[in-house]
């Protein structure tokens, strides 16, 4: 459905997109994950033919994407990062206005607008002006304006920024439902949990480059960390840290002044048992024990050496 090849975008000396390659298939929820400034939005804007780029090709629905590719644009819905609605129009009027840019027929449009309102749960607010809406409702209106015409491809650029957890969950559920109804979705975010929760395939970006891509599981398998074990309230004596490092599958041990032991292991069974057995053998008391499977942040951290969330 989307094919991007060798895309390069420079802002003077700064390389915003560095030979980016990307393929998205119909029916996917494709997540673009990366810290702020990693090039996610720039890639989207190039894809939408809003930004000039220095090199590369972009194809949407098998055709070269140009600013005047109106027949392609007709099949795309965009939910921009910043809320883009008219302050002077009610919720209904806003959705109707933007839907009207795609669907001229009034009767068809009315049906679509009503469906979008129901889909985003804005029924009770349709006569309200945007300034009367909470942050979460405003984000939902922003989404409704982008999806009302029921596009084949929906591009959502960080749609949950500054949204409360309840609204966020509602939005995420809605995105999955849109996909279930047949839309392909490109979803950019720097929230790894939500990308992991809804995306069928993920590309992790940093400094304009793709550093890894695949399903969440595939990405996690790419890294050494299979499990992170955190044990609180441990009083280790000299040499015991070194002993733990020598245990099978353990490749990194940190012991903090707060007496928290963090052990990183490769993927294997009974990692926790092995460590706890060692501590018991050594008569070392310990408190709470946590075992965490790797996250996308671990993937990012291991590949780039820095946290996904700065």
Partner 1 sequence: MLRLYISNVKLVIRKREELFWGLLFPLILATLFYVTFGSGIDLEKMKAVPAALVSQGNEVFETFLENMEEGFLAVTEMDEDEALQALKAGEIDGIFYSGEEPSLTVAASQMNESILEMLLSSYVEHEALLRDIGKEHPLQLPAAIAQMADYREMTENVTVSGRSMETNVGYFYGLIGMACLFGAFMGMTAAEEMRADQSALALRRSVSPVHRLAIVLSGMLAVFTVQFISVCILLLYLRILGLSFGEKWYMLLPVCALGSMTGVAYGIFIGSMRLRNGLKIGILISSSLLMSFFAGMMFVNMKDIIEHHIPILNRINPASLIADAFYSVSIYDNPGRYGANLLLLAAITCLLAAVSFFRLRRERYESL
Give the nearer residue to partner 1 in terms of CB position, either 30 or 98. 98
For tokens 């299979």, the residue is: 226
Choosing from 3, 18, 23, 100, the residue that interacts with partner 1 (CB under 8 A) is: 100
- Three-state SS at 28: coil
Give the nearer residue to partner 1 in terms of CB position, either 46 or 216. 46
User: How many residues line the site for partner 1 (CB under 8 A)?
Assistant: 33
Phi, psi of 131 (to 5 degrees): -65, -15
Q: Is 131 in the site for partner 1 (CB under 8 A)?
A: no
If we measure between CA atoms, which residue out of 258, 261, 255, 256 comes closest to residue 276?
261
DSSP 237: P
Q: How many C-beta neighbours within 10 Å does residue 210 have?
A: 20
Q: Is 102 in the site for partner 1 (CB under 8 A)?
A: yes
Interface mask toward partner 1 for 144-163; x: CB under 8 A: -xx-----------------
Piece in contact with partner 1 (CB under 8 A), picked from 45-53, 163-171, 257-265, 272-280: 45-53
Burial of 310 (0-12, 13-18, 19+ CB in 10 A): exposed
In order of 48, 54, 179, the CA distances from 161 in angstroms are: 21, 30, 21
Q: Is 70 in the site for partner 1 (CB under 8 A)?
A: yes
Q: Which two three-digit tokens encode residue 65?
A: 């994407």
Choosing from 31, 39, 80, 174, the residue that interacts with partner 1 (CB under 8 A) is: 80
Q: Which two three-digit tokens encode residue 32?
A: 């673009």
Give the nearer residue to partner 1 in terms of CB position, either 68 or 258. 68
In the window 199-238, what residues touch partner 1 (CB under 8 A)? none
Q: Provide, rounded to whole angstroms, the least separation between the CB of residue 85 and partner 1.
A: 7
Give the nearer residue to partner 1 in terms of CB position, either 30 or 53. 53
- CA gyration radius, the chain: 24
* Contacting positions for partner 1 (CB under 8 A): 11, 41, 45, 48-52, 67-68, 70-71, 73-74, 76, 78, 80-86, 88-89, 97-98, 100-102, 104, 145-146
């Amino acid at each position: 459905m989307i094919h991007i090849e060798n895309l390069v975008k420079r802002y003077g000396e700064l390389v915003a997109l560095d030979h980016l390659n990307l393929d998205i298939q119909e029916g996917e929820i494709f997540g673009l994950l990366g810290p702020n400034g990693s090039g996610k939005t720039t890639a989207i804007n190039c894809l939408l033919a809003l930004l000039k780029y220095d090199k590369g090709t972009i194809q949407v629905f098998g055709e070269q994407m140009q600013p005047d590719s109106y027949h392609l644009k007709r099949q795309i819905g965009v939910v921009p990062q910043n809320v883009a609605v008219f302050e002077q129009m009610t919720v209904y009027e806003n959705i109707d206005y933007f839907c009207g840019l795609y669907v001229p027929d009034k009767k068809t449009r009315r049906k679509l607008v009503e469906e979008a309102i129901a889909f985003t749960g804005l029924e009770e607010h349709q006569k309200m002006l945007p300034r009367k809406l909470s942050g979460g409702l405003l984000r939902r209106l922003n989404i409704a304006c982008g999806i009302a015409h029921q596009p084949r491809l929906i591009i959502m650029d960080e749609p949950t920024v500054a949204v409360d957890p309840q609204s966020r969950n509602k939005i995420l559920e809605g995105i999955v439902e849109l996909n279930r109804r047949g839309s392909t979705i490109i979803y950019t975010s720097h929230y790894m949990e939500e990308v992991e929760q809804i995306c069928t395939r993920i590309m992790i970006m940093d400094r304009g480059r793709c550093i890894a891509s695949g399903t969440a599981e595939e990405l996690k398998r790419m890294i050494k960390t299979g499990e992170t074990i955190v044990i609180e309230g441990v009083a280790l004596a000299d040499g015991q840290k070194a002993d733990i490092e020598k245990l099978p599958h353990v490749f990194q041990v940190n012991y903090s002044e707060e007496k928290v032991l963090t052990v990183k292991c490769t993927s294997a069974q009974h990692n926790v048992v092995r460590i706890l057995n060692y501590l018991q053998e050594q008569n070392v008391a310990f408190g709470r024990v946590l075992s965490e499977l790797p996250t996308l942040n671990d993937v990012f951290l291991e590949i780039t050496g820095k946290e996904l969330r700065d």
